[in-house]
Amino acid sequence: MQPGLVGLLYRSYKRNGGEIMTGYRFSEMMRLVQEQTEALEKQTFGGFTDEEMAEFEERQERIRELQSGELNRAA
């Protein structure tokens, strides 16, 4: 894992009161972070279209939801 990803997961762990994100939510978080990383690389070298920017923002919001633990507590 990348240092940034480790930090992201640690912060999520702390926000969830020490609960470890598991299963589907963890897989979803990992997939979203990877997609965000790829999108940022693309943006660095060529920019985003309006559609790509909207997708980026939707993924970012979903990552925030997962990090906040709102979905973990609802399950």
| 44 HSE (CA, 13 A, CB side) | 6
Q: pLDDT tens across 12-50, in order?
A: 655 655 555 567 778 888 899 999 999 999 888 888 899
pTM (2 d.p.)? 0.60
Can you give the pLDDT at residue 72? 52
Dihedral sign from CA coordinates of 55, 12, 65, 20: positive
Alpha helices in the chain (DSSP H): 3-15, 23-46, 50-68, 70-74
Cα 1 to Cα 13: distance, rounded to the nearest angstrom? 16
Structural domain span for residue 21? 3-74
Q: pLDDT tens across 42-62, in order?
A: 888 888 899 999 999 999 999
Tell me how many domains the chain contains. 1
